[in-house]
Structure 1
């Protein structure tokens, strides 16, 4: 008979393993939100990591569910553990361990996988090990939905993204005077983008608020009001700033957007500012593998650094060594891929006016931030849900038969922090794959893919359909690539590897977690 605060060692172990799982979520899943922004040049990898650290953490801490499923997906009934709560603690510990190791391993191989499906697969494994195969819900409400989502998610996201990009392509990019058309239509994009995202975030129902009880009409009214505000902002601030910066070639900084009516004429420039977006087409299309930001080769001992221009050895200070270690994850080139096959994929893509592409970079960053905020509020439960369950059992020695467990704020903050660490140190692996390794990305393409994927996830989640953010952004990426009108504009070999990793997720995570549980539960004991 278990008593409160028994098995403290297991609670401590689960806390450590939950950090690993959240770390894997940050390294693998957060790339879903920012990979296209980095690939298109709208954000550098370092900027994306800084922004994501705030959006992911705030999403997890402020809107992370105040309750979570004890067993993700309801594929295994918690009533089986009513008499043995300590057994549920062991199941959650093993499930988190199996999920964490698979996600981190997949990340090391550059495979974008669903962290939700990983924890579900791990629960399936421990359920079979504990109670046999009949204990798992294999029907539509269980495993059947997960298998369906392998096909449903990418197709739906791809269709929506293709529609958004096609409107942009024929409404702006292919117009004779595309810059003027962009300035005219961008306020409408601001309106629809912010209104749609606001509607879904409110309609979903933020925890701790009465949003879920509001009528659809009230939510639509609020969303339209938010959209109108941002459209007016675009008309009176953003577009005038864009016109002066892009058409007038004036020396303007990003913060001048908010005071542009009061900013006097600036010295004109003969060329566009050398932003990543402005030179993106030339840099990516060249297929160069040179790292433009870090054109140096460092010896393995980290003592001598040789520059490509000045070949004289330079001694690196201890401070620089520490910075190189701490910033290792953000000093990676994830845009310029030197493979001849990837170069041929990029060459098959249409290149449009870089000034117009630059105009969409701000919209793309907004969409990425919203997607990241939503991701932090949703997927943090994959790690903190099992941890909260173990914590609750450790405190009360009881199993909540409603399959819902409260999530303390410290656990939400803990999970949000681990997600940020995973992104900053290892997220570059997946950003390479979901970025320019599948197709050529520009701000208009990235904006379309991000918005299409976000709409698919939010809609299907509200309808109760199982979808994965990873699967959605992968399908959206492929669809936007196909909008070039050429099959060769998509890296089908990389897509095949992505799909293969999705199929492997359930059995591999389940096998690892099941074996670990069997080893712990059925091992010989001298205690009898």
Structure 2
């Protein structure tokens, strides 16, 4: 029996190593292809070797974004079993790539979010190129390490740390915009708290308005279309504000009733979202009414009504992520490309198609090859998710970004999504704790009742013991009282032990919380230190 077990373990190990080898092969092929194309296409340009190596780092960075950051978009859908792992990867890869190509960063700021002052380089392009290369490689390495540790971290914070560290190494601490860094530090707290509160509020509302109702089907017919319509409004507004800037002129030419704006305002985006939400409401209302006769009056049946909206949410989140976070992979690469091609440093630079392709394809490939590990972590290793809880997390992701953008607060999509998962998990603990408190209160009432009975028995025993004349009946009663008192005392001890044994149920895994929060805290300094070290290494090799 033991020999068979060992053989099975050997087969599984061989199979696993074979899969890892295939993954590595695909990854290396992509990296070599990017390196080769970049080098051959810029063969006559000075510093083309730097550009080729930077392209290699950018491709590696994009794959790590796909492996780590994209998990936040589809992880809840997979954890709730609304999507299979393969289905989630296909949807995310398609919509991430589509978002990157269609609406991904018309103009990328060379220095992400103004973290450093490029004037400090005094148009000396070589230190600038080294700094951007160091930022790319350091960020990619940090994301790789975080993925291995199963810690979903902010890609934006990672690249900010990388740029900051390389900038300090190149020109000293004065190069850093510390006000901007303060805003980023604030976002570490704001993002998960906002995401957690919003997700918990929607989950509380769904539970109270639908799940805890005696007639769940009637409640679902009334409220599910409303919740899905709210989600539709949030996503369309979010997508319009954050993902359609590049193609907005085309949209307003097609939809002539929209205001002629260079970029969509919040009023325009929210109105656009409201129109879509009304349409979605009537579609979902009709669908729920059609399914009502087939549904059972259980939470599982209500869960099924949120499956399709959750799939759409995963797709839209992936599209929005592709439009925004692709710049994290290719922003520094686009800056290096501009510096090499034009021989100068610009605050803003357009993104060539080949650079955009490196980001889009790299993110999709990284997700496909190495994304499942983080998808499992986000979807099932923090807290247990069903479709309703996952739906609330998706709602939090879109609504939090809208609120924060209007208030001018910096937030991280990664922190929002994970914070939303924390929020629904802690709300589950609250409901569980409420039930436990009722159990404890009931047990304590019983203990007090037993103590009063025991006190009465002891008083009776004392009174009988003080009698001068004792009959046979008196002695028999005394014996009975001793027996009953012993039984009551033992029963009280057992009840007290039961109260102590009622522990607070933890639906959010504390080791996951500690690991993730620790990774969040050290992301910027870790990427900065690593980037500075790589900058000095590159400068030492070149000089």
Q: Report the counterpart of residue 297 of structure 1 in structure 2.
A: none
Secondary structure in 2 matching 1:232: helix
Q: Report the counterpart of residue 65 of structure 1 in structure 2.
A: 105
Q: Report the counterpart of residue 255 of structure 1 in structure 2.
A: none
Query: Which of 213, 231, 238 is 1:200 aligned to?
Result: 238
Cα distance in 1, alignment partners of residues 170 and 241 from structure 2 = 39
CA 1:406–1:185 in 2, change beyond 3 Å: closer, same or farther?
same
1:203-226: CA deviation from partner (whole Å, max 9, x where unpaired): 345224245545554444322211
Whether the 8 Å contact between 2:100 and 2:360 is mirrored in structure 1 is: yes
**Structure 2 residues not aligned, in runs of 5+:** 1-42, 250-260, 434-504
Q: Does 1:93 align with 2:143?
A: no
Q: CA deviation at 1:459?
A: 3.2
Whether the 8 Å contact between 1:66 and 1:208 is mirrored in structure 2 is: no
1:122-179: CA deviation from partner (whole Å, max 9, x where unpaired): 11111111111222222x3x21112111111100111111111111110111111213
Q: CA deviation at 1:524?
A: 7.9
Q: Report the counterpart of residue 376 of structure 2 in structure 1.
A: 432
Q: CA deviation at 1:73?
A: 2.2
Secondary structure in 2 matching 1:398: coil
Cα distance in 1, alignment partners of residues 334 and 119 from structure 2 = 18
Whether the 8 Å contact between 2:195 and 2:397 is mirrored in structure 1 is: yes
1:208-250: CA deviation from partner (whole Å, max 9, x where unpaired): 42455455544443222111111222233x32453365459xx
Q: CA deviation at 1:180?
A: 3.0
Query: Which of 324, 342, 367 is 1:423 aligned to?
Result: 367
Q: Report the counterpart of residue 385 of structure 1 in structure 2.
A: 331
Cα distance in 2, alignment partners of residues 214 and 52 from structure 1 = 25
Query: Which of 184, 192, 197 is 1:146 aligned to?
Result: 184
CA 1:415–1:215 in 2, change beyond 3 Å: closer, same or farther?
closer
Q: Report the counterpart of residue 467 of structure 1 in structure 2.
A: 411
Cα distance in 2, alignment partners of residues 170 and 148 from structure 1 = 33
Whether the 8 Å contact between 1:5 and 1:396 is mirrored in structure 2 is: no
Q: Structure 1 residue runs of 4+, over 6 Å off?
A: none
Cα distance in 2, alignment partners of residues 508 and 169 from structure 1 = 41
Cα distance in 1, alignment partners of residues 512 and 314 from structure 2 = 23
Whether the 8 Å contact between 1:457 and 1:469 is mirrored in structure 2 is: yes
The equivalences for 1:333-372 within 5 A come to 353-372=299-318
CA 1:220–1:462 in 2, change beyond 3 Å: closer, same or farther?
closer
With normalisation by structure 2, the TM-score equals: 0.73
Secondary structure in 1 matching 2:90: helix
Q: Does 1:38 align with 2:56?
A: no
Secondary structure in 2 matching 1:489: coil
Cα distance in 2, alignment partners of residues 246 and 199 from structure 1 = 32
Q: Report the counterpart of residue 156 of structure 2 in structure 1.
A: 116
Q: Report the counterpart of residue 460 of structure 2 in structure 1.
A: none
Q: Does 1:488 align with 2:506?
A: yes
Cα distance in 2, alignment partners of residues 25 and 357 from structure 1 = 31
Q: CA deviation at 1:50?
A: 0.7
Q: CA deviation at 1:465?
A: 2.1
Give the stretch that moved more between structures: 151-160 or 187-196. 187-196
Query: Which of 176, 183, 187 is 1:136 aligned to?
Result: 176
Cα distance in 2, alignment partners of residues 108 and 417 from structure 1 = 21
Cα distance in 2, alignment partners of residues 358 and 223 from structure 1 = 25
Q: CA deviation at 1:184?
A: 2.8
Q: Report the counterpart of residue 278 of structure 2 in structure 1.
A: 228
Q: CA deviation at 1:52?
A: 0.5
1:37-82: CA deviation from partner (whole Å, max 9, x where unpaired): 0000000100000111111111111111111110112121111224
Q: Which has the higher contact order (CA 8 A, sep 6+)?
A: 1
Whether the 8 Å contact between 1:202 and 1:212 is mirrored in structure 2 is: no
Whether the 8 Å contact between 2:45 and 2:340 is mirrored in structure 1 is: yes
Whether the 8 Å contact between 1:161 and 1:476 is mirrored in structure 2 is: yes
**Structure 1 residues not aligned, in runs of 5+:** 249-351
RMSD: 2.1
Q: CA deviation at 1:189?
A: 2.1
Cα distance in 1, alignment partners of residues 355 and 376 from structure 2 = 31
Q: Report the counterpart of residue 283 of structure 1 in structure 2.
A: none
Cα distance in 2, alignment partners of residues 244 and 423 from structure 1 = 40
Cα distance in 2, alignment partners of residues 46 and 149 from structure 1 = 33
Whether the 8 Å contact between 1:118 and 1:506 is mirrored in structure 2 is: yes
Q: Does 1:17 align with 2:57?
A: yes
Secondary structure in 2 matching 1:362: helix
Q: When you count helix as a share of all residues, which structure comes out higher?
A: 2
Q: Report the counterpart of residue 190 of structure 1 in structure 2.
A: 228
CA 1:471–1:216 in 2, change beyond 3 Å: closer, same or farther?
closer
Cα distance in 1, alignment partners of residues 82 and 101 from structure 2 = 27
Whether the 8 Å contact between 1:66 and 1:408 is mirrored in structure 2 is: no
CA 1:372–1:394 in 2, change beyond 3 Å: closer, same or farther?
same
Whether the 8 Å contact between 1:94 and 1:514 is mirrored in structure 2 is: yes
Q: Report the counterpart of residue 461 of structure 2 in structure 1.
A: none
CA 1:217–1:511 in 2, change beyond 3 Å: closer, same or farther?
closer
The structure that has the greater radius of gyration is 2
Q: Report the counterpart of residue 443 of structure 1 in structure 2.
A: 387
Query: Which of 518, 534, 538 is 1:500 aligned to?
Result: 518
